[in-house]
Amino acid sequence: MKTWLMGFSEFLLCYKLVWSETWKIRKQLDTPVREKDENEF
């Protein structure tokens, strides 16, 4: 049981690291603002 908990805590730490790094660059991941005709296309 202890091994399972250690694995789960390591998973959560990795998940937290990836989430925080993605959150830092979230503005770069947004699509650029498009003109009305570009949206209709």
- DSSP per position, 1-41: -HHHHHHHHHHHHHHHHHHHHHHHTHHHHSPPP--HHHHH-
Determine the Cα–Cα distance for residues 40 and 34; give it in Å rounded to an integer: 10
pLDDT for the residue numbered 31: 86
Q: What residues does each domain of the chain span? A: 1-38
What pLDDT was estimated at residue 16? 98
Distance, C-alpha 21 to centroid of its chain: 7
Note the pLDDT of residue 20. 97
10-residue mean pLDDT series, the chain (41 residues): 93 98 92 86 72
Q: How far is CA 25 from CA 3, 11, 22, in A?
A: 34, 22, 5
Query: Does the global pTM surpass 0.85?
Result: no
